[in-house]
Amino acid sequence: MTAAVIPSSRPVVPRRSGASLSAQVGLEVRKSLSTRSGVALVGAAALLAPAAMSVAVASSAEPLSSPTGPVVVTGMLSVLVLLALGVLSTAGEWTHGSVQTTYLLEPRRTRVLAAKAVAVAAVGAGVAAVAAGLATGVLALFGPSVPFDGVGRAVLVVGIAGAAFALVGAGIGAALGNTPGALTGVYLLNLGVLPLLQLFTPALADAIDPGNAVLSLAQGSEQAQSITVLTVWVAVALVAGAAMTRRRAVQ
């Protein structure tokens, strides 16, 4: 005789079969570094700062009082390249249609954007710090003899800038969902609008320009304002990206 089966009073909670956030971040890092465009951007970003430092050292005839300014300025050239890395991580999926597969595997769009944000921030910080470190090495080997106090801070700030600019690019890319449009907009803003604003209304430009905020942060001046400027840029870009991503239809 078969014993009766008494049903359990506990509710059955289905387990999520999706990957963990850390696994998704690792996947997004591999996505950014597995394409030819991603590898080219990372390579260009890593080499641009030391190349610019080599040119600056070769053409400079005056001694330097501090290496902080040259390291940050040349490092910012690499940081600007990382804007494109952020754009490609988000807008690239919409442009090439791979977003369908991404959201089929993980339908929670905010979670996907969060994974992309963490991934590009990590890659951006690492690449920017390496670029600034290489630029420092070029200055130490071939530049004039200067005290290298504050170089560690400069490299750290450039790394933070790399993460921040990559996040801004990712947010704008997610908001527009179109790679050419996002790249045009982000570089027109940073290389066109903000420099013009610096000419006509320098006070306003100093208050909102993320590049000036990075330089001030490295030099130890206006710390709170500099951090606020970078935070606002990142927050606005990511919030806009999340809002538009949630509303955009996948085709």
DSSP string, 174-212: HHH--HHHHHHHHHHIIIIIHHHHHHH-HHHHHHH-HHH
How far apart are the C-alpha atoms of 83 and 59, rounded to whole Å?
A: 28
Can you tell me the mean pLDDT for 15-37? 81
Instruction: Please state, as a whole number, how many other Cβ atoms lie within 10 Å of the Cβ of residue 222.
Output: 16
Which tens digits make up the pLDDT trace of 128-181? 999 999 999 998 888 777 777 788 999 999 999 999 999 999 999 999 999 999
Mean pLDDT, residues 86-105 taken together: 88
- Look up residue 211 and give its amino acid: G
pTM of the model: 0.88
